[in-house]
Amino acid sequence: MIKQTRPISESIIHSQSESEFAHYRREAGDKIIKRKGQFWVESHFGFYQAANWLVRMPLAQAVPPAVFYWAYRTSLAQTDVAAANGTMPVNLLQDISRYDYEHLHSSCRYDLRKSRKLVTIVELTRPDLLYAEGYEVMRSAWSRWGNSFMPTKAAYLNDIARAYKTRRMILAGIADGKLLGYLVGYAVGSTAYIEFIFLATESLSTQIGTALVFDFIQTCRQSGVIREVSYGLCDREDPAEVAFKERMGFLLVQIPSIVYINPVMAEMLRWFKPHVFYRLTGRG
């Protein structure tokens, strides 16, 4: 076992309270605003969303969190869904209590068996392995995705440090002492989030992605607190990614929301970034 790791069988994700989550994000440099008892984050300049973005906020609290903004969005409490003017298209696993090997899609069971023979999944309790090898894993993933902008190594190392400061859980796939890929996740209240997964291209044949997702969910089940796991907003422009999420049990759920976008910006997004507009509003 590599130092500063924990066997996945001993890993239990810590679910933070709303105030804990906001505190750690503020400490890490995020702009956090508290209004009417709810925490908001400026995730992009002028765009605000609930810090815990699947919080299901009561309508009375779903108000603009700042004086100057071009957009804000939050999911709504079940009692207020009639007031929704949009949805959040989320890939969501809504019942983790029965999520085990026997309930996986048959193709996922095959992939998981294969991965178990080739890769060891562990929790990284410290960032040292990511500092040493994580950047190359991310570079490989970004190159495969065709992203035009690659963060500098300094920016990457800062992001890893920030992940630990904000109490993220990081699971890694290792073979022959080498990092092949990793998953970053966290939990707030009864909801857990798969935030990022980076896989080296040469590791894809090991089905490491299936093992990382499956084992993250097992750490959530062991918490006794978490009831649902989000795998992000729907990437409908990537059919392979959508198919993988669905096979793993993360179905597309349209969660009622309140969303405001400056009309000029809304039209620009609708025409030039339709997939972004869809993820913001559930429309288009």
| pLDDT at position 3 over 60 | yes
What was the pLDDT predicted at 6? 93
What was the pLDDT predicted at 1? 53
List Cα–Cα distances, 125 to 104, 152, 166, 202, in angstroms. 28, 24, 13, 25
List Cα–Cα distances, 215 to 59, 94, 118, 119, 193, in angstroms. 36, 16, 15, 12, 13
Evaluated on CA atoms 112, 196, 255, 226, the torsion sign reads positive
| pLDDT at position 145 over 90 | no
Q: Give me the DSSP letters along 185-212.
A: EEEETTEEEEEEEEE-GGGGGGTHHHHH
- Are 32 and 22 in contact, with CB atoms under 8 Å apart? yes
- Average of pLDDT values for 101-122? 96
3-state secondary structure of 73: strand
- Span 10-63, pLDDT tens digits: 999 999 999 999 999 999 999 999 999 999 999 999 999 999 999 999 999 999
* Residue 148 to residue 2: CA distance in whole angstroms: 34
What was the pLDDT predicted at 42? 97
pTM to 2 decimal places: 0.95
Q: Residue 227 carries which DSSP code?
A: -
98 Cβ contact list (under 8 Å, min separation 6): none
User: Over the range 40-63, which residues count as b (16 or more CB within 10 Å of their CB) and which as e?
Assistant: bbbeeeebbbbbbbbbbbbbebbe
What was the pLDDT predicted at 9? 92
Domains of the chain, CATH where assigned: 5-15+97-223 (3.40.630.30), 18-90+254-281 (no CATH)
What was the pLDDT predicted at 111? 97
- Are 233 and 250 in contact, with CB atoms under 8 Å apart? no
Within 10 A of 173 (CB to CB), how many other CB atoms are there?
Answer: 27
| pLDDT at position 191 over 90 | yes
What was the pLDDT predicted at 149? 82
| pLDDT at position 2 over 70 | no
* Residue 12 to residue 26: CA distance in whole angstroms: 24
Name the average pLDDT for the chain. Answer: 95
